[in-house]
Amino acid sequence: MGMNRALNRFAVLTTGCTFLLLIAGALVTGNDAADSVPDWPLAYHRIIPPLTGGIRFEFAHRAVAGVVATLTLVLAVWIARRERRRWVRNVGWTALGLVVAQALLGALRVLKGDPAVTATSHATLAQLFFVSLICLTVFTGEWWQSHQPVLRDAGSPSLRALALTTSVIIVIQTILGAGYRHGAFGIWPHLVGAGAVTAAVIVVARNARVRFGEVKSLRRSVIFVHAFFGLQIVLGGAAWWAVQAQQRAPQPLPLLVGITVAHVLGAALLLSASVVLTLRCYRLIPARREATEFSGRAKHSTEAAV
């Protein structure tokens, strides 16, 4: 398989810009500025609104979103034209579909309010869109497209399944976190989710170390999952303190906004690390059925040769 280095770099660029978009979006919520621009797609009936107060955050978010949407469109079309693997092309189109849906959810948030539903959905989809770009970055990258050893996983459940489950639990936890931030749920579901993530991360990391401790790519992924998980626990505690401390403040305070924004970004990084670990497991470890068929075929060919 030939690797298109420019395409991969463009995927990395798009992912980087999307990370900036996550920052911009979290700043809007942190500064309570989501409703500072009541109209959409224009802002105060203009392309560039008066850049004052909360409008600066909301307009910056829209501007970066426009850049990211354009980059994603270019990326999807580029992949569609240059990529031989059909499933990668489909991931490209999925990313484009997600960014369009994300823009529409943003519009609904502005035009219809109801943050418990619209903002929670918008925040959740933001993470999923970011993950889709992480996937594209991995799929178009050198590691994925170069020759890799086939690993046999004798453990049960398989590391593939454990890694996938961990990623799904983290996605659910981001929904619970977004729901708490936007008033859809209380703190308890998010705390229970944190417990579930803790358990999942411990189990997947331990199994990865025990079964494939010598495999560098998996070991690295586990280190990233551990690092972002630890960071996220600290930021989660700090964010909780920030929310309590801010209750009597007349307006959002910069330090507290910073902590809650960092917590949102920590979630994106932890989810990304977990997804990369999952993808690497899928790349290196064949499914049980595939592994059986493979060894069966090998046995037959050995017998025939004999």
Partner 1 sequence: MIRSKMLLVSGIALLLVLGGCSKKTEDEGTETKEATSSAPATPIDMSTVGDVSGKITLNGTAPTLKPINMSAEPYCSKAHPTPVTPQDVVVGSGGALQNVVVYVKDGLGDRTFDVPKDSVQLQQKGCMYEPHVVALMAGQTLQVVNADQTTHNIHPIPKDNREWNKSQPPGASPIEDTFARAEVSIPVKCNVHPWMKSYIAVFKQPYFVVTGADGSFDLKNLPPGTYTIEAWQEKYGTVDQQVTVGAKELKTVNLTFNAAASGD
Applying CB under 8 A, the span of 46-54, 184-192, 194-202, 211-219 interacting with partner 1 comes to 46-54
Token pair 């109209």 is found at 39
Applying CB under 8 A, the span of 102-110, 121-129, 196-204, 209-217 interacting with partner 1 comes to 102-110
- Which residues within the stretch 231-290 sit at the binding site for partner 1 (CB under 8 A)? 248-252
Residue 236: CB minimum distance to partner 1, A: 23
Amino acid identity at 63: A
**Interaction between residue 107 and partner 1 (CB under 8 A):** yes
Q: Which of 30, 13, 121, 106 is nearest to 68 (CA)?
A: 13
**Interaction between residue 84 and partner 1 (CB under 8 A):** no
**Interaction between residue 42 and partner 1 (CB under 8 A):** no
Amino acid identity at 215: V
Residue 20: CB minimum distance to partner 1, A: 21
Residue closer to partner 1 (CB basis): 36 or 127: 36
Number of residues that bind partner 1 (CB under 8 A): 37
Report the alpha-carbon distance of residue 109 to residue 105 in Å, rounded. 6
Residue 256: CB minimum distance to partner 1, A: 12
**Interaction between residue 300 and partner 1 (CB under 8 A):** no
**Interaction between residue 112 and partner 1 (CB under 8 A):** yes
Residue 78: CB minimum distance to partner 1, A: 11
291-298, Cβ contacts within 8 angstroms, sequence gap of 24 or more:
291/152, 291/153, 294/150
Locate 79 and state its tokens: 């992949």
Residue 73: CB minimum distance to partner 1, A: 9
Residue closer to partner 1 (CB basis): 259 or 285: 259
**Interaction between residue 74 and partner 1 (CB under 8 A):** no
Residue 31: CB minimum distance to partner 1, A: 7
Residue among 5, 50, 287, 297 that touches partner 1 (CB under 8 A): 50
Report the alpha-carbon distance of residue 162 to residue 208 in Å, rounded. 9
Residue closer to partner 1 (CB basis): 90 or 292: 90
What residue ranges bind partner 1 (CB under 8 A)? 31-39, 44, 49-50, 52-55, 77, 80-81, 93, 96-97, 100-101, 103-104, 107-108, 111-114, 248-252
